[in-house]
């Protein structure tokens, strides 16, 4: 877990991370989670300081559900392919509850974040609330996904 930092309170994070966590919480308003009732929001900041967000989108056919992180990342790629993503915050709360609950990115989202890092030749910082209710600030998706599969394996 190289370079990963932990914070007891969101207030202890830098102002950009706090703002991004706030935007991620706002994004949960667009969560479609009638099955899990677990609303997740993700917000990313581009290098020009503009922000794009996403929320989880569920489906009666469960395997088709999509995480907030990938909704935001794919929207970023589709709408602003020229912009690099600097940081992403992910937050979650249960439906009809305001308090945030721990939610760390799943392996699939970490893998997709890693692909974006490769595409843009720049790491993406990740902010999320860990299982012990400590805020996690990871310097990159790569730091969250050791021994990952990458295009180098295909090239080799």
Chain residues that interact with Zn ion, rule: CB under 5 A: 67, 106, 108-109
Beta strands in 30-124 (DSSP E): 38-46, 51-55, 85-94, 100-101
Whichever of 86 and 126 has its CB closer to Zn ion, that residue is: 126
Contact assessment for residue 43 and residue 125, using Cβ atoms and an 8 Å cutoff? no
Whichever of 76 and 109 has its CB closer to Zn ion, that residue is: 109
**Residue 93 CB, nearest approach to Zn ion (Å):** 16
**Residue 81 CB, nearest approach to Zn ion (Å):** 21
- For the chain, count helices (H), then strands (E): 5, 7
Catalytic residue, chosen from 69, 115, 125, 152, is 69
- Pairing type for strands 125-129 and 85-94 reads parallel
CA distance 57 to 81: 22
Q: Which residue is nearest to Zn ion (CB)?
A: 67
Q: What is the DSSP letter of 53?
A: E
Whichever of 108 and 122 has its CB closer to Zn ion, that residue is: 108
Of the CA atoms within 13 Å of residue 93, those in its CB half-sphere come to: 15
Active site residue 152: no
Catalytic residues: 69
């Amino acid at each position: 877990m190289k370079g990963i930092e932990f914070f007891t309170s969101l207030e202890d994070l830098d102002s950009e991370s706090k703002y991004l966590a706030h935007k991620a919480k706002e994004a949960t308003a667009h969560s479609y989670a009638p099955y899990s009732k677990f609303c997740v929001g993700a917000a990313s900041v581009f290098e020009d300081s503009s922000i794009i967000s996403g929320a989880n989108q569920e489906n009666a056919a469960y395997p088709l559900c999509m995480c907030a992180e990938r909704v935001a990342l794919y929207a970023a790629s589709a709408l602003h392919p020229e912009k690099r993503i600097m940081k992403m915050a992910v937050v979650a709360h249960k439906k009809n509850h305001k308090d945030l609950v721990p939610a760390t990115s799943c392996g699939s989202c970490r893998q997709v974040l890693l692909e974006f890092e490769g595409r843009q030749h720049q790491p993406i910082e990740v902010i999320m609330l860990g299982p012990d209710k400590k805020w996690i600030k990871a310097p990159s998706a790569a730091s969250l996904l050791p021994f990952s599969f990458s295009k180098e394996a295909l090239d080799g």
